[in-house]
Structure 1
């Protein structure tokens, strides 16, 4: 009976990796075994644009989602929250910036999530608009590297100005309503640094971001050749997340499930008044 001193190889199971390219587009990759570990191979890129869509169809979807959102308990909760936590004299805002909205026109499973998030962003603007502490118009902006030409036409029809990266990072200041439904913490860091003094900031969770940055820092400190810049970004993210929590009321929006299978669950951060701790 033949035998060998070689050990049986363990079965290899390829892993899917989603990474960001330099131009901001996502890449779906698989790993393949090599002598020095797993080597990523590009498997596919972003899905194509849904060619059946038009600006009018996107507007119709926006209207449908807006009507459903208007009757939700989450919207009633949000409306009461903003009315209760507005600063004396009104909101000190002159622009609203939405980052990482996603593309409403790409043919992927979560395409409608982008429409839902846009509805919430624009509705929050309408909630605070009557209580601004100035007469200037509150301008709306959106930045997303995946925006297609159809997305841009759709947003422009809703009076939302489209920004190209890194214009949003350069635009935000202490008078900006910042809305970031979902993004990697490293990409959110520039906005977190500004959000410390922003009257209204919507994000996932500062606690989650701090935990993620802490885990990244722990992994990096094990490697003596770690990138010092990334280590500093970890420290900055942890400090900024804690600062936002200390300077803002933290309000977890009740999770709402909608008819088309999408849910919204975000954290609303409103700046504390000067007479508050």
Structure 2
């Protein structure tokens, strides 16, 4: 499929439905039907809330949450949980999908439930105030208002990317590489939850270049404590948790005191957004 603003490709992943993935960073600002809110939303806030309560209950009763709590408890006892004052959730999908997909609806709610549960656990155990944001281009106004009831501030894209700082928990399940790189462009977060380096090495071209599109993930892999996120019906498949050890400075993507965007690499050259020309695989 092609768009007037650039080339688009369709990819498929382990039973996931096809999704259009932009090959150009500039294309993020090009309107796409797949990234527009449902023009005829069906559900009220009450409808969404009731459905979410049910999904959230199932998540908290799942072996996924049981295992995840144990992992976080172990990490905390080993001093691997860094200070978090902000949390940013990206790309859950809409709560009222335009195509009426029950799977997409459930996935969006399950990811949101997991995000909220993790933040609540960290808040409770650290007594730290954590401001939460969520960004999804396909949210309807009703979706955004529902997020408010969960204590989440819905922000319009690309506003969420600029909110990530070195005290942020970044939650980005099954998102494209270019989106992850945008979110970590200024700095690596305190905690990153999303596709890990091992999985990207399987699906991205030209991955031997550590200064290339995966350079932020090489930094995460080399400097953070890594855990495997327990799966639940493929909703969290191939997902890793990267935890910065607070004995370190909040190390940025360049490994220096400047931040992850257009930093210089060891050869003295500036990064040229290699990720924009990279073959990526969507997981949704």
Q: TM-score, normalised by structure 2?
A: 0.68
Higher helix share: 1
Paired residue for 1:150? 142
Change (3 A) 1:246 1:195: farther
Structure 2 residue corresponding to 1:81, chosen from 71, 85, 100 = 71
User: How many pairs are equivalent?
Assistant: 223
Pick from 97, 103, 112 the counterpart of residue 106 of structure 1: 97
Q: Name 1:229's counterpart in structure 2.
A: none
Q: Choose the corresponding residue for 1:165, options 154, 157, 161.
A: 157
Per the TM alignment, residue 151 of structure 1 is displaced from its structure 2 partner at its CA by 1.0
Higher relative contact order (CA 8 A, sep 6+): 2
Larger CA deviation: 234-243 vs 176-185: 234-243
Instruction: Report the equivalent of 1:129.
Output: 123
Q: Superposed, which structure 2 residues align to 1:218-257 within 5 Å?
A: 235-257=211-233
Q: Is there any run of 5+ residues in structure 1 with no aligned partner, and where? A: 1-14, 29-44, 219-231
Distance (Å, rounded) in 2 between the aligned partners of 1:100 and 1:61:
19
Quick one: distance in 2 between partners of 1:235 and 1:89? 27
Report the equivalent of 2:236: 264
Q: Deviations over 1:213-253 (max 9, x none)?
A: 4x1679xxxxxxxxxxxxx9x94432211110111222222
Contact 1:94 1:138 in 2 (8 A): yes
1:77 & 1:49 partners in 2: Cα distance? 39
**How high is the TM-score relative to the length of structure 1?**
0.70
In structure 2, how many angstroms separate the alpha carbons of the residues matched to 1:25 and 1:114? 22
Larger Rg: 1
* Equivalent in the alignment of 2:109: 115
The whole-number CA distance in structure 1 between the counterparts of 2:96 and 2:19 is 23
Residues 71, 194 of structure 1: alpha-carbon distance in 2 compared, 3 angstrom cutoff: farther
Match of 2:273 in 1: none
Q: Could you tell me which residue of structure 1 aligns to residue 20 of structure 2? A: 18
**How far apart in 1 are the matches of 2:133 and 2:165?**
13
